[in-house]
Amino acid sequence: MSDTTSDIGIGGMTCASCVARVERAIAKLPGVAGVSVNLATESARVSWNDTDSSHEARLRRAVRDAGYEPLAPEHLEQQAAGPWAGFSPVLAGAVLSLPLVLPMVGDLLGQHWMLPAVWQFLLATPVQFVLGARFYKAGWHALLAGTGNMDLLVALGTTAGWALSVWLWWSASAGTMAHLYFEGSAVVITLVLLGKWLEARAKRQTTDAIRALHALRPERARVIGPDGEQDIPIDELLVGDRVVVLPGERVPADGLVLEGDSQLDESMLTGEPLPVTKGVGARMTGGSINGEGRLVIQVSATGTATVLANIIRLVEDAQSAKAPIQRLVDQVSAVFVPVVLVLALLTLLAWWWSGHSVELSLIHAVAVLVIACPCALGLATPAAIMAGTGVAAKHGILIKDVQALEVAHRVDTVAFDKTGTLTVGQPRLLSLTPVANAVEGADDWLAMAASLQSGSEHPLARAVVQAAKNQNIIIEAPQAVRAVPGYGSEGQVQERALLLGSLRWMTALNLTSSASQAVPWQAQALALQAQGATVSVLAERVGSGETAQLLPRAVLAFGDEPKPGVQAALAALRAGGLRLVMISGDNLGAARAMAQRLGLRDDEVHAEVLPGDKSALVRRLQQGEHGVPRVVAFVGDGINDAPALAVADVGMAMANPHGGGTDVAMQAAGITLMRGEVALVGAALDISSRTVAKIRQNLFWAFAYNLAGIPLAALGFLSPVVAGAAMALSSVSVMTNALLLKRWSPPAAAPKNQ
């Protein structure tokens, strides 16, 4: 496994062949474990298997030696370009080429005029060698590296047309006007420049999501210090600082509210359009906008540790990564340019051997070179991924793993963790009933249960603690507390050895009842389970050694509520052809009772599943039935869901506003849902389906364009000018098609599964 990664911006790449060349140059560096170059983001991500401090310098030199410009990885985000930025070369080319094209228009209108050859030469030469210098420079570097790229094809094709025109002009008899092709070379270069400008403009739109996220981070924060409030740069914030957030300001960092009440706009982070009420003790996320109240918060995370920084990192990782389908494109582009050069040479020789003039043969060869530029191939996949992940992030769906994006549209089974995912995740303590003839009362046992659970983040533990607080019961600090995952916890409270956990655990521990207990606690617990409650038992270990007994002290019943809208969301997923599964650690009765409220069938419920067994269950679901494997998505929100999220074909971590391990789940999942809404599951599958569809459409048209265009050019049906226009149009059409994804919004119903 690699120890470190480096990101670098790369200027000057124009096509898929450039990507392959840069990857080969970087891969040759010592210590490189892997490299991924992205044409749409003009960047590379490099994994190293050592920690050499000279990585960055060697990486920049390798990029420069390959013929490209090393840039800061943030070069796209730092662009403050307007809509017409970089248009001046295109305008200059158009002004110089227009007089060359007007005689062609005149011929169509029956008017025959032609500029003198010297004027054609003077207009076309600056376009060829000044505006077109970028093609010569990049093409020359490609030749030195023993490869080819789009620039080489353009340089060879237009130079051939320009040189042919010069030769025909100089070799023409005195007083005759030879037919020249200066306009073809000049117009081709101008059209290619126009296409690259439109590409660059479209690329800036695909990175809108990243720039919008960066803009959420304010520059300064108002910190409360010994001398009162003072403004400091946000980079100087420390964990523990107290910060004032005035109405209308952005929250500078993650933290907890110490003073004040307000409503926060978190729409850019979660996609939630409605403001969220925040009071004392509430968690704050840096980048959200404060409403009308003045807040004082205590900073809990700064810099790269904040939620906003993590979101930006997830989106950047997804946009810079390569989808598996891109490997096919890389394999094709590696041999594409050499094959095109051979085809152009064969076109020249075939036309010449068939009795046509050298100039006509050369023109057809030039058309082959120009139309075959593989720009669209290089942009087809990354442009769609950038647009899809960007618009998904805008609506609260963070796609960290591009492979998950590509697989999600094939999901046919969705497995949900119950607590916190399908339910609110804040179960309430419905009742605490002391076992018959117990000396202490309910309040005493509640105090001891809350003290034992005071350090736990488990939803049931929080419910016990909250119930004690609601009754103003004093909670003491426990000793020697030990959590038993999937069962409960044990420890000492007031020097009494207590255990609180599930019926299954108590049965395994041989929990006994005294003969004097008139009402068996087991019957009471089973009755509560039959009513759909989650039941725990508080027990005490009495005595020591062989005479020790574990005696029941109280039966606790908990209840949870389904999340709003979850029943409709599950129904929509089922209507889309998906198989639904609910996984719960509860007993079968409680799980089925909740499933009925959620609109799920009994055969869709897996109950009494321990946290460590969730991943095994996901594997069984993947194996399917009758030898037919299934593609499984698992949706969870806690630490104990991480193994299942990692094992599933697509892991979806659902953000939990109450904490409880969401960060761990996010790292294990390929997709993170920033709002706790089950409807986002269908939305994630939908954007996956639409993004993959765009990738396939782009690749189809990119391949089809070359497969159709090259033979037409070789057979003489396309002039170099038409070929240049078609080549520019292909790249722009791919980018435009990808940008249509920016209009996507989550559907009201789950997508049809295909």
pLDDT in tens, 151-178: 777 788 788 878 888 887 887 776 666 6
Residues 6+ away with beta carbon under 8 Å from 706 = 371, 372, 374, 377
CA atoms within 13 A on the CB side of 589: 13
User: Which CATH architecture group holds 428-559?
Assistant: 3-Layer(aba) Sandwich (3.40)
Token pair belonging to 280: 């004392």
Please check whether residue 308 is in contact with residue 210, taking contact to mean a CB–CB distance below 8 angstroms: no
The DSSP 8-state label assigned to residue 260 in this structure reads -
Tracing tokens 């085809």 back to the chain, one arrives at: 343
Token pair belonging to 143: 């030749």
Please check whether residue 68 is in contact with residue 84, taking contact to mean a CB–CB distance below 8 angstroms: no
Share of the chain above pLDDT 90, in %: 18
pLDDT at 516: 44
C-alpha to C-alpha distances, 219 to 233, 296, 373, nearest whole angstrom? 6, 18, 44
Nearest by Cα to 598 from 581, 575, 618, 576: 581
Tracing tokens 């006007």 back to the chain, one arrives at: 177
d(CA 322, CA 12): 20
pLDDT at 373: 67
d(CA 468, CA 165): 92
Please check whether residue 285 is in contact with residue 251, taking contact to mean a CB–CB distance below 8 angstroms: yes
List active site positions.
417
d(CA 431, CA 435): 13
Nearest by Cα to 715 from 278, 347, 340: 347
Burial class (CB in 10 A: 0-12, 13-18, 19+), 687: buried
C-alpha to C-alpha distances, 568 to 465, 643, 681, nearest whole angstrom? 32, 28, 12
Please check whether residue 270 is in contact with residue 674, taking contact to mean a CB–CB distance below 8 angstroms: yes
83: number of Cβ within 10 Å: 7
pLDDT at 1: 41
Please check whether residue 367 is in contact with residue 720, taking contact to mean a CB–CB distance below 8 angstroms: yes
- Residues β-bridged to residue 259: 296
**Does the 4-78 domain belong in CATH 3.30.70.100?**
yes
Residue-wise pLDDT tens digits, 622-679: 998 877 899 999 998 766 677 888 888 998 988 765 544 455 556 667 888 888 889 9
Q: Is 220 helix (H, G, I), strand (E, B) or coil?
A: strand
pTM for the model stands at 0.68
Q: Is 491 helix (H, G, I), strand (E, B) or coil?
A: strand
**Which parts of the chain register pLDDT below 50?**
1-2, 78, 80, 514-519, 659-661, 749-754
d(CA 415, CA 403): 19
In the chain, count H helices and then E strands.
26, 26
What type of residue is 297? I
Please check whether residue 255 is in contact with residue 242, taking contact to mean a CB–CB distance below 8 angstroms: no
d(CA 290, CA 529): 44
Please check whether residue 154 is in contact with residue 139, taking contact to mean a CB–CB distance below 8 angstroms: yes
Please check whether residue 39 is in contact with residue 175, taking contact to mean a CB–CB distance below 8 angstroms: no
CA atoms within 13 A on the CB side of 253: 29
d(CA 325, CA 335): 17
pLDDT at 531: 77
Residue-wise pLDDT tens digits, 469-501: 999 998 988 898 888 877 889 999 988 899 998
What type of residue is 588? L
* 4-78 shares its CATH topology with 397-424+562-674: no
Please check whether residue 711 is in contact with residue 368, taking contact to mean a CB–CB distance below 8 angstroms: no
CA 21 to chain CA mean position, Å: 26
Token pair belonging to 303: 């810099």
Put the strands of the sheet holding 220-225 in their side by side order.
228-233, 220-225, 242-245, 295-301, 254-259, 283-284
pLDDT at 367: 83
pLDDT at 315: 67
d(CA 362, CA 167): 12
Tracing tokens 């089950």 back to the chain, one arrives at: 678
d(CA 472, CA 483): 26
Please check whether residue 252 is in contact with residue 284, taking contact to mean a CB–CB distance below 8 angstroms: no
C-alpha to C-alpha distances, 594 to 93, 410, 426, 471, nearest whole angstrom? 69, 28, 14, 28
**Does the 219-307 domain belong in CATH 2.70.150.10?**
yes
For 662-715, the three-class secondary structure string (H helix, E strand, C coil) is HHHHHHHCCEEECCCCCHHHHHHHHHHHHHHHHHHHHHHHHHHHHHHHHHHHHC
pLDDT at 657: 57
For 443-450, the CB contacts below 8 A with 24+ separation are: 443/471, 443/473, 445/538, 445/553, 445/554, 446/471, 446/473, 447/473, 447/474, 447/475, 447/476, 448/493, 448/494, 448/496, 448/498, 448/538, 449/498, 449/500, 449/538, 449/554, 449/556, 450/475
d(CA 486, CA 168): 86
Domain map (residue ranges) of the chain: 4-78, 88-208+322-388+690-743, 219-307, 397-424+562-674, 428-559
Residues 6+ away with beta carbon under 8 Å from 397 = 271, 671, 672, 673, 674, 680, 683, 684, 687
Residue 315, H or E segment: helix 307-320
Residues 6+ away with beta carbon under 8 Å from 86 = 197, 200
- Residues β-bridged to residue 539: 499, 552
Please check whether residue 588 is in contact with residue 608, taking contact to mean a CB–CB distance below 8 angstroms: yes
Please check whether residue 97 is in contact with residue 127, taking contact to mean a CB–CB distance below 8 angstroms: yes
**Does the 397-424+562-674 domain belong in CATH 3.40.50.12170?**
no
